[in-house]
Amino acid sequence: MKPIFVFSGQGAQAVGMGQDLCEASPAAAAIFAEADKVLGWKVSELCFHGPEEKLTESIFCQPAIYTMSCAALAAYREKHPEVKPLACAGLSLGEYGALYAGGAFSFADGLKLVAERAELMDKACKESEGAMASVLGGDADIIREVCAECDIDIANYNSPGQIVISGAADKVANAIAMLKERGLRKVIPLKVAGAYHSRMMAKSGKALKAVLNNSTINLPEIPVYHNFSAKPSNSQDELLANLERQVAGSVRWVECVTAMAELGADTMIEFGPGNVLTGLLKRTIPEIKGININNVDGLN
């Protein structure tokens, strides 16, 4: 097996996530115990028992998903220490799980970064009314043209045929209407707190820069493909810049997956709740096998 490791993003959360892994794996349990200590609140309790409304809030959701994803990785490494990835990547928030897996920072240092990132993004969401929508099966050039006309941004290039748009709520509504007028009927408004990966998050990205500059982050030992650049960083400064720009920049997930596949990968292993990334893989490079480590069954 020649795997790549990928990590789930925000939106994949579900009450109960990680509980069976924690009960079955001492390594996973240790991750949750450390997270509870670092954060000063019971992220384990929130992941295992909810409530769902609290788990959905960015300020809690991001640390929770990062913790659960790293616990899944710990459980997998405990059972399969011989498996080494060719490269790592993560969708938005998941990039921090990828950097942890690649050796860029300790679990605790990554968790502190994620918690601060979540606070900054939550603040931006509350300062303005943003919205996002998923466009399925549309021509990318038409979508980009409409975004420019409506003064909004493309947040995600998730797979061939799936693009997410983001911006001020009224402008996104205009874009949805315009896309439908141009024949793109499958445009789905998303239930989100704000306009992630758009210019409305630029202030958060700049604030995060100061946090990043005061953190201990090294170049990872395993290549990590960044959302913003769709390639690994060659220096620590480049890595920090990628993390800053990622907050308001487009997630170039298709390019990341394609570039990692070109390394000779034959398997994608997704760590974290849900199966979003392996689902996108089927529409991007279907010949690569997808495996989900979101419960104990995936460890076999």
Residues annotated as catalytic (active site), given as ranges: 92, 197
Give the pairing type, strands 130-136 and 3-7: unpaired
Prior bond of 63 cis (ω within 30°) = no
Tokens of 196: 């992630």
Q: Which of 169, 168, 171, 165 is nearest to 188 (CA)?
A: 165
Residue 241: alpha-carbon gap to chain centroid: 17
Phi and psi for 218 in degrees, rounded to 5?
-110, 165
Q: Is 189 left (phi over 0), alpha (psi -120 to 50) or beta?
A: beta
What are the Cα distances from residue 177, in Å, to 150, 162, 291? 11, 18, 37
State the DSSP string of 55-102: HHSHHHHHHHHHHHHHHHHHHHHHH-TT---S-EEESTTHHHHHHHHH
Residue 178: alpha-carbon gap to chain centroid: 29
b (16+ CB within 10 A) / e for 150-166: bebbbbbbbbeebbbbb
Q: DSSP H helical segments within the chain, as ranges?
A: 19-24, 26-39, 43-49, 52-56, 58-79, 94-102, 107-127, 140-150, 169-181, 202-213, 236-246, 253-261, 276-284
Q: Given the structure tokens 């996973």, which residue do they identify?
A: 28
